Structure 1
Amino acid sequence: MLELENNSVEQHDTTEEHQAQTLKTLSSLVCGQEYSSQAELRTVYHAITGEAIYQVSSHGISTKAIVDYAKKQGAAIATWTFHQRANALKQVAQYLLERKEHYYELAKATGCTRKDVWIDVEGGIGTLFAYSSLVRRELSDETALVEDAWIPLSKHGNFGAKHILTSKAGVALHIDAFNFPIWGMLEKIAPTLLAGVPCIVKPATEGAELTHAVVKDILASGFLPAGSLQLICGQIYDLIEHLNPQDTVTFTGSAATGQSLRANPHLNQYSIPFCMEADSVNSAILTEHANDETIDLFVREVFREMTTKAGQKCTAIRRAFVPAALLETVQTRLVAKLQKVVVGDPEIEGVTMGALASVKQKFSVAEKVEQLSEDAKIVLGGHLRQDFEIQAKNPEKGAFYPPTLLVCEQPTEAKHIHEVEAFGPVSTLMPYQNLAELADLVARGEGSLVASVVRNVDENIEALITKIAPWHGRVHILDAESAKESTGHGSPLPYLVHGGPGRAGGGEELGGLRAVKHYMQRTALQGSPNAMTQVGHSWTAGAQVFEDRVHPFKKDFDELRVGERLLTARRTVTEADIVNFACLSGDHFYAHMDKIAAADSLFGDRVAHGYFIVSAAAGLFVDAAAGPVIANYGMDNLRFVEPVKIGDTIQVELTCKQKTPKPQRDPEQKPHGVVVWDIKVKNQRNELVATYDILTLVERAA
């Protein structure tokens, strides 16, 4: 059975193995209960002291029961609306934030500094807040998402289509890496739960104590429906064999393990989506005309990526490209900064970089550095450990590895530096001669999560970006201007794609609403406007409308019906209207004011300002008296379709398109909701001259 862990050297100490028999065993949190086993136990050791701290085993667990529980119990989350899911996620985030100090304490065993743990703990919780806000802001309060506008497919508009996204009737299996046991899990479950799909989380064994603590707290909070989140500590055994085409698998970790999983015959047979985010040899590029300030920015960025989390980041800079003429300068400055790093136990004052996650990881990094040294010269760290004194009580027992810098003077002839990743504080400097050579060297990484381009503020890098962008999920452009507020090379953000092509796996773990949509099924619906309105809860042009003697602006949110329409009085546009609007707005564009120039234009005559038409339309459909409409706070999809000339007569069709109730943040606030109105402005020939949506806040009944 495939063990989803790093295939590096294990610790073997019979004394510690005996001691492990009395250790706590992390339970799996499945099927509404805790499950643990004393068979096939695997022991995890403290990254600083080397002491055994916990063990895991999922031996004998019923993977079929776990999948069934998610689909029967956890499927309740699909019945919630997007806003209900988002509000629950926000409550979960607040609940976890109140307990963050407990996670910081547990994280000490992983060898991290508090600054490193901040990324994992508060960065992960922040991702929940960000996704919750994004969905509440961008999506309607429905269970399904109508993705686009009406697509007419017939001459008279009685047949057309829309794309709709619905929650898949399955489960998402998330297999996570050891380097970010909290953030790595939260950034996956956030879009999944928002999509209305239950999750099964399988953390890496190193760091699983942190994942376990967070999941246990989430379940204890009671904000999510039963079965929507489960945790397996140990192996997943045959769980994949119980998945079906409605399910999704995501993986973060080594490319080798990811490819093994991706090749699973069951996944291929049932076309089960597999999203992989693999470690890659990410790059930093110093541009050809770098000045002194730019060099310092470059050195700072490479240094930060080598030492943050002891270099154990999937986004860390592994290849640093510099112009050949600047190689010695960059090397000297970078070595000087790295020599000031204090490696050891973060509990000791003055320590600036902690340990790797485990001793086996230390052995793995050392092995990879030996491979890299076949192509490059080690100029700091590596086997030259006398350069660094480890600040720890028993340094030989910890997973300490010094910052290691290599220099490859002939990168075009090298192989390992473009293919092998030492997952620790390791980077290789290499020179390039020109843009063509640089683009070729970057591409030899065969796909990466991110590249940083460090440039002078006024330097044009368009040609470089065009060449390297196809090989990356994200490109970070750093200069003196952006450096003031940049989140940095290695900071995946909830709104941006976190993934990359080729070796990086081809996945999109994050990416704003794209990540939410990844767990949903896109379906093209074809039918009549009335059918589209019924299914999408949003009025479609051509669908049935309702008219009433009472002006729709006199009705509160609950009284309004989707499809309710007001056909306004008419207004004839005069020359005085155009002149007065020009004086009021200051817009004296020739098409409105210059009769001779307008005659030579595509209009053939003077035309009214587009924004005058919008203003005049509001004058026609607005009811001036005080009522339940609180405010107009937005306009979407504005298009001016036909010109309006002097003497033309306009009329407006106002239709209630969509209604979304809003939660009350303040008990003193009046209950209200958002109403989207479809606006169509037509002329005397019944031709559409302008179309748009307006959004109003409308009071609800108390």
Structure 2
Amino acid sequence: MQLQHYIEGKWVSPSQEEFTQFDASTGEVIGSCSTAGLDFGDILAYARKTGGPALRKMSFRERGLMLKQLALHLNDLRKKYYPLSYQTGATKGDSWVDIEGGIGTLFAYASMRRQLGDQRWYVDGEAARLSTEGTFIGTHVMVPRQGVAVHINAFNFPIWGMLEKVAVNLLAGMPAVVKPSEVTSFLTEAMVRDIIASGILPEGSLQLVQGSGVGILDTMGSQDVVTFTGSAATGRKLKGLPQITNEAVPFNMEADSLNAAILGKDAAPGTEEFNLFIKEVRREMTTKAGQKCTAIRRIIVPEAYIEDVQIALGKQLAGTTVGDPRNEGVRMGALVSKKQQQVVKERVQQLLQSSDLVYGQLDDFEVLGDRDKGAYCTPILLRNDHPFEHTATHDIEAFGPVSTLLPYRELDDAIALANLGKGSLVSTICTYDAHTAQEYLLGAGAQHGRILILNRESAPESTGHGSPMPLMNHGGPGRAGGGQELGGIRSVKHYLQTVALQGHPTMLTQVTQQYQPGAARKESDIHPFRKYFQEIEIGDTITTAKHTVTDGDIGNFANLTGDRFYAHVDATSLEGTPFEQRVAHGYWVLSKAAGLFVEPRKGPVLLNYGLESCRFTKPVYPGMTIGVYLTAKEKIEQQQRDDEDYRKGIVKWLVEVYDETNETVAIATILTMVKLKEE
């Protein structure tokens, strides 16, 4: 069977066979693929000319809803991908991470539409006042790059590796060309076929090429983005290509690294932490047969506990049944290919020159399957008693179920050993002692993209050492590539261009559709709370009546709330404080502001949705007179959940409370839920 590309709006068979794909457990041929003869210049141009404009016409909210629709569609189909995943050597648990973890990432990024808003651009942060009178300000706006994202993915997660990247570029408004590994791309193709058939994505927003991909970066331009997942050596080679450097193409690299797990001295044998540590290491050694960029390669433990760790871990590994994942009882599947099996063996032989084999076999072992036809490997546990002298452990990675035990004396030694990895995606410190965790963070944080603090309290809900989460950064310095994936909105910004936008506040308000301080306000005879969502315009303002503050206001609020902080109720205790006399509660000021600006009659406003920010900028004393400017700041339409649900949106209002000198005493952003007018 020839695997196909999806390029320029159609499925295309390769012109020749370049790579043959095999079932990792049985050795049976699955299919062949090749990128030979493809015109990558045309493929990338199609994405830029067709997919890019279609995506950029959509708002962040619309693109987020598109992702949600796609996630729901794939979730309904998820079971069909498991049999194909088993052919990569993945167990059911491994496949769950790849398939449902990938779909879950789509859901996670779909939900970020609420943070990004209902525009085609993203206003990043507060405005900066650039002039004395406030008529010239600046703000940072992020807009979609006008190129294409090229994703070069590794073999270990054919689905998650694609979805965790395309979820982000699609939300940002960029099209993608996906180049999965030529070893497991048959699984990626199966899902892409369902994505294309669904018609959910605009044409040109997703293309698939299968094979070596030689030449795919030759026509990249400055508006394009490259993401790479794989070996550090290959990543550095691609990142250094003349086209990438000459065009200053953003290149995000996430490379395999020599990640570590550290057992704290407090986690002695018999403690809950000790048992959790053994369980976590065993899991990370055997999940995906150790073929994970986040897998634990170095097990750093107090020298007094190393024998206990070796024995306990050996017992855990002995319960790991290796074989064809379609066989009942198999807990670890095959490596992805015979070629990978040979590479792992070679790397283990290199490590054995300075380490001892304390568990596992390279050749003579039992499997539930055909050992000769499948790419099987048992868990391999090595031990290096002199990790500062024998440094191969910190340089050579066997990308399989292989880890090395390393002893340490003091925490500083453990930190130094972890840092000898020269940059890692993740490390785990297993401890119940906060000081140990703090010192490890300060000592090792600069060399790691993520640190998991594992103990009895975090373990029940912890996703574990090796699970990158959509809302948390995935990447690391040095050997790990220096890149950054996931991390919520942080990753979306990778596909956006930051523009420092300068001008008059009124113009910037009109351009960004977000009210900027100092912009013209639009006073209306109709109270803004009497307007439906569509009728509210950014800048709509009500200037309220005023109120003169009394001692009774302060005393009544103190009695009502129980907030009897001395500055509010005891004028004799103010010496040495910033206050001249009893001061009104900040929350009274905000509450009174609401009393001044709220329209009491029933109208389109359904409820107060929350308070986004609030600052009290000047003390308010009895005798002062306050008033409020309430201004529509931003609007975000919400999805209608069902036919009986209200059509509604969220409106952000700028609340500016000022005194008789026209100085601001409090400023806040409140949110209301507002009905849409039925058409």
What range describes the TM-score normalised by the shorter chain of this pair? over 0.9
Identical amino acids, percent of aligned pairs = 48
- Aligned counterpart, 2:148: 171
**Alpha-carbon offset, residue 391 of structure 1:** 1.5
Instruction: Using the TM superposition, give the Cα deviation of residue 382 of structure 1 relative to its aligned residue in structure 2, in angstroms.
Output: 3.7
Whether the 8 Å CA contact 1:199–1:230 is kept in 2: the answer is: yes
Q: Which amino acid aligns with 2:360?
A: G
2:55: which partner in 1? 77
* Aligned counterpart for 1:289 among listed residues 266, 270, 293: 266
Q: How does 1:222-621 map to 2 (within 5 A)?
A: 222-291=199-268, 292-293=270-271, 294-383=273-362, 385-386=363-364, 388-392=365-369, 394-456=370-432, 460-621=436-597
**What is the distance in 1 between the residues matched to 2:445 and 2:321?**
36
- Distance in 2 between residues matched to 1:272 and 1:630, nearest whole Å: 47
Return the TM-score normalized by structure 1: 0.95
Offset, 1:289: 2.2
The SS at the match of 1:112 is coil
Which amino acid in structure 2 is aligned with residue 180 of structure 1? F
Residue among 113, 120, 132 paired with 2:98: 120
Structure 2 unaligned blocks of 5 or more = none
Determine the structure 1 residue equivalent to 2:127.
150
Distance 1:222 1:534 in 2: 35
The one-letter code sitting in structure 2 at the alignment partner of 1:318 is: R
**Matched-pair contact (CA < 8 Å) for 2:3–2:14:** no
Task: State the alpha-carbon separation in 1 of the partners of residues 301 and 330 from structure 2.
Answer: 30
CA shift at 1:458, angstroms?
A: 6.0
Instruction: Give me the whole-angstrom Cα distance separating, in 2, the residues matched to 1:31 and 1:492.
Output: 32
* 1:169-208 aligned within 5 A: 169-208=146-185
1:674 to 646, 650, 654: 650
Corresponding position of 2:87? 109
Give deviations 1:484-522, integer Å, cap 9, x for gaps.
111100010000011000000011121110000111001
Q: Give the match for residue 215 of structure 1.
A: 192
CA contact (8 A) 1:457 1:480 kept: no
- Cα distance in 2 for partners of 1:290, 1:459 equals 13
* Contact 2:17–2:32 (CA under 8 A) maintained in structure 1: no
Structure 1 residue 460, shift from structure 2 partner:
3.9
State the one-letter code of the partner of 1:80.
M
Give, in angstroms, the shift of residue 348 of structure 1: 2.0
Cα distance between partner residues in 2 of 1:482 and 1:663: 35
User: Shift in Å at residue 436 of structure 1?
Assistant: 2.2
Aligned-partner Cα distance in 2 for 1:670–1:486? 37
Contact 2:151–2:176 (CA<8 Å) still a contact in 1?
A: yes
Match for 1:90 among 65, 68, 79? 68
The CA deviation string for residues 561-597 of structure 1, in whole angstroms up to 9 with x for no partner, is 2111111111011000100000000000010000111
Distance between the aligned counterparts of 1:90 and 1:445, measured in 2? 39
The residue number in structure 2 matching 1:11 is: none
- Partner letter of residue 334 of structure 1? L
- Report deviation, 1:44: 1.1
How far did residue 459 of structure 1 move?
5.7
Distance in 1, Cα, partners of 2:254 & 2:377 = 25
Q: Contact 2:5 / 2:14 at 8 angstroms: preserved in 1?
A: no
| SS of corresponding position for 1:64 | helix
Q: Residue 494 of structure 1 aligns to which amino acid in structure 2?
A: P
Following the alignment from structure 2 to structure 1, what is the Cα–Cα distance between the partners of residues 38 and 440? 52
Aligned-pair distance for 1:139? 1.5
Once residues 15 and 536 of structure 2 are traced to their aligned partners in structure 1, the CA distance between those partners, rounded to angstroms, is 62
Most deviating of 567-576 and 538-547: 538-547
> 1:86: Cα distance to partner?
0.7
Structure 1 window deviating more from structure 2 (470-479 vs 215-224): it is 215-224
* 1:686 matched residue in structure 2: 662
Counterpart pick for 2:109 among 121, 124, 131 = 131
Is the Cα–Cα contact under 8 Å of residues 182 and 212 in structure 2 kept in the other structure?
no
Q: What whole-Å deviation, never above 9, does each CA across 1:226-276 have from its counterpart, x for those lacking one? A: 000000011323221211100000100011111110110110001001100
RMSD: 1.1
Matches within 5 A, 1:646-657: 646-657=622-633
Secondary structure of 2:486's counterpart equals coil
Q: Distance in 2 between matches of 1:617 and 1:451?
A: 49
Which residue does 1:44 correspond to in 2? 21
Instruction: Give how far 1:113 is off.
Output: 1.0
- Indicate conservation of the 8 Å contact 1:30/1:231, yes or no: yes
Cα deviation 1:199-240 (Å, max 9, x = unaligned): 000000111011011111111111110000000011323221
Name the CA distance, whole Å, in 2 between partners of 1:152 and 1:199. 38
Q: CA deviation at 1:420?
A: 0.9
Structure 2: distance between partners of 1:452 and 1:458: 14
- Alignment check: 8 A CA contact 1:599 1:605 kept: no
- Equivalent-residue separation in structure 1 for 2:640 and 2:261 (angstroms): 47
Q: Who is 2:117 aligned against?
A: 140
* Bigger shift: residues 432-441 or 34-43: 34-43
* Superposed displacement of residue 457, structure 1: 5.3
CA contact (8 A) 2:257 2:294 kept: yes
Contact residue 167 and residue 520 of structure 1 kept, 8 A: yes
Q: In 2, Cα distance between the equivalents of 1:391 and 1:561?
A: 67
Q: Which runs of 4+ in 1 moved over 6 A?
A: none
Q: Is 2:437–2:453's contact at 8 Å kept on the other side of the alignment? A: no
Residues 264, 436 of structure 2: 8 Å contact kept: no
- Cα distance in 1 for residues equivalent to 2:530 and 2:58: 31
Distance 1:670 1:290, change over 3 A: closer
Per-residue deviation, 1:295:
1.5
Stretch deviating more after TM superposition (692-701 or 289-298): 289-298
Q: What whole-Å deviation, never above 9, does each CA across 1:662-690 have from its counterpart, x for those lacking one?
A: 22112112222111111100011111000
AA of the residue aligned to 1:356:
L
Residue of structure 1 aligned with 2:36, choices 52, 59, 80? 59
Shift of 1:347: 2.0
Give the Å deviation of 1:600. Answer: 4.2
Q: 1:235 & 1:435 partners in 2: Cα distance?
A: 45
Q: 2:3 maps to which residue?
A: 26
Separation in structure 2 between the aligned mates of residue 370 and residue 235 of structure 1, nearest angstrom: 28
**Paired residue secondary structure (2:339):** helix
SS at match of 2:48: helix
Instruction: Note if contact 1:661-1:672 (Cα within 8 Å) is conserved in structure 2.
Output: yes
